[in-house]
Amino acid sequence: MRGPHNIWRLIRTGATLERTGAMGVVLDAFEAPRALRILAHGLGKPFMWLGYKGDPAMPPATRALTALGPAYIKFGQVLSTRPDVVGGDLAQQLRVLQDKLPPFSRDVAKAEVERELGRPVEEIFSEFSEPIAAASIAQVHRARLAETGQDVAVKVLRPGIERAFRRDIDAFYFAARIVDLFAPGARRLRPMEVITHFDGVVRGELDLRLESSAASEFAANTGEDAGFRLPAILWNYSARRVMTLDWADGMPLGDNDAIDAAGLDRAELAERVLQLFLKHALRDGFFHADMHQGNLKVATDGDIIAYDFGIMGHIDEYTRRVYAEILYGFIQRDYKRVAEVHFEAGYVPADRDVEEFARALRAVGEPIFGMDATHISMGRLLSYLFEVTERFGMETRTELILLQRTMVVVEGVSRSLDPQINIWQAARPVVEDYIKQSIGPRAVLSDLFKTARVLSRFGPRLPGLVESALIAQTHDGDQRPKSNRGAILGAGFLGLVLGAAAATVAVLLLV
């Protein structure tokens, strides 16, 4: 039944997009070719009466996605992290997509908890509240552990949500194949790649064990960060469809009146939010990629509390160093160095002119630095930077797009707390500290130590590898030139020397 279901779902989708006025918005955002526009409108208009009406108070795109249900809401959220795909304007609209749906009943939630944890809810929790928040994939209840009296938050997946998402994602793949087949000009939009990315994100969020793991790793990385804490995961009360964690008491970070009434310094909070994000991204390479006010609280003692770890960003160590050098180069207004970093990292093709690229970067940086300090935006800088690098042939890097999107959100949070914040001044100490730790002489010694440690592990295996190579050559019937034997023996001897040297260096560095 997949084929008929997919066709019906796409007709209903097209009808809803047409009825809410979102069809034109979406096609414009994707710069869809004429053939795709004709196909889309042809699918939507005749069946417009079948479409969902949605909430007329919402913008067209968010109105349509909200009306179509959880999978479409989540799809909009994921696309909001990909302005490279949907464009900046639509990404901005989708960023404020309200992920609020009617909750399912407490009795159903309790049944899900019992099924997952294998015990009656009354044995586990002495109290279990009505839902306090409901989203597209799960809802949250406040509860109290029967054994300890500890207040906890219990997140429960919606019943049947996996099957519902699987059905709609199947329809998304079907639509992407239709686009590839009937609108070859739209292939540059990479529809199959977009749906595959969405599929991977959703699969991770439909298994709460993975979110619990992300929260645990994040907590381990940030345990020493002053003024920042996370609710602890209670693994004994968590499973694939249920996640239990400490209850986090605090004021919403967006409630300035409550923060002022508590006597907290909003300017200091604004700076700390920004610096914490940069520390996590640069120092750890693992950051909360959905740091809006709804996922942040501030305790009465001033600690910032983060929760909801469904969307996390990861950047490898090499990319972090490149990103830090780029930021530092802009802070120093050294556009030649920023250009060289792009070429050294292979982000820009080697056949392009580095001097011309540096001038293009200056055109990006100087207008921003000419602004009043309180209006300088790192997110805007990165957005302009990606536009320039795209013109010079740089391929899109998803992890940097997610970083840039999160940077924009974090800046918004900081400015809502302190409109006068100087973003560069707040960011500079974090970036400079990372540069010293990861790019200076100390970093060179650290890299040498890591290299030596790896080589020392392989040292004992080198004689065996050389012997195996010689035996294999003998079994080949001496068909190879004899000079190869000398090369193999020479490589083996060199390997032994390197292994011994590496071991020596490792010992010295450890001492």
Which position has the token pair 């070859």?
Answer: 184
- Whole-number Cα distances in Å, 182 to 5, 38, 175, 185: 20, 11, 11, 9
In the chain, DSSP finds a helix count (H) and a strand count (E) of 23, 10
- Whole-number Cα distances in Å, 173 to 192, 259, 298: 7, 46, 41
Output Rg (C-alpha) for the chain, integer angstroms. 27
Q: Give the β-pairing of 242-246 and 151-157.
A: antiparallel
Please state, in angstroms and rounded to a whole number, the distance separating the CA atoms of residues 492 and 462: 7
- Whole-number Cα distances in Å, 26 to 62, 191, 286, 338: 11, 13, 32, 35
Catalytic residue status for 290 = yes
Per the CB < 8 A criterion, the answer to whether 436 and 482 are in contact is no
Per the CB < 8 A criterion, the answer to whether 354 and 377 are in contact is no
- Half-sphere exposure of 64 toward its Cβ, with a 13 Å CA cutoff? 25
Please state, in angstroms and rounded to a whole number, the distance separating the CA atoms of residues 83 and 46: 31
Please state, in angstroms and rounded to a whole number, the distance separating the CA atoms of residues 310 and 290: 8
Helix (H) or strand (E) holding 53: none
Contact residues for 411 (Cβ-Cβ < 8 A; gap 6+): 274, 377, 378, 379, 423
Contact residues for 117 (Cβ-Cβ < 8 A; gap 6+): 124, 237, 239, 242
Annotated catalytic residue: which of 84, 168, 225, 290?
290
Which position has the token pair 């599929």?
Answer: 199
List the alpha helices (DSSP H) in 154-265. Answer: 161-182, 191-205, 208-222, 256-261
List the catalytic residues: 290
